[in-house]
Amino acid sequence: MNNDQKENLHKLVDKIKGIKFAMMTTMDEDGSLHSRPMATQETKEDGILWFFTGYESAKSYEILKNDSHVNISYADPDNNVYVSVSGRANVLKDKQKIEELWTPVMKAWFPEGKDDPNIGLIKVTIDKAEFWDSPSSAVVNLFGMAKAAITGEQPDAGENKKINL
């Protein structure tokens, strides 16, 4: 990974670190897309995202049997940050990683704890991402749109960056 890619990945991780929930999209047997909310368990600058999953769940099946390509969409409307991540997913039963990522709140989904027979992990390796980070103040955004409507100039939508890893 070159320095530009490392810097871009750092920016990406910084954008999504505070966003706990995302929408993960997988492909169903008939080719249709299926999205559901997921809680990101770990986001590091290694280009890998971690999620707990039911090992026998539909999303696990879709990843294992249909297509390992996934999209993960993050939104933080309060701060005007939006991120779309594309990558490849693997469904794992990695006891060491489960132990590392486990929190007591996970017991709501896995009643038998870390040893629940249905507990699994989804590891997403990021291939590409895009983020939008616009000025945080709604007043600034409204002013920018009003100015653009009057002058015909495009409003300053903030930073938009495409990242390839």
- Taking 3-state DSSP, the helix, strand and coil percentages for the chain, each rounded to the nearest 5, stand at 35, 40, 25
The DSSP code for 153 is: P
- pLDDT at res. 114: 94
Count of domains in the chain?
1
Write out pLDDT tens, residues 82-111.
Answer: 999 999 999 999 999 999 999 999 999 999
**CATH number of the domain that residue 61 is part of:** 2.30.110.10
Structural domain range at position 23:
3-164
Whether pLDDT at 160 is above 70: no
Q: How far is CA 156 from CA 30, 126, 141, 163, in A?
A: 41, 28, 8, 21
**41 pLDDT exceeds 80?**
yes
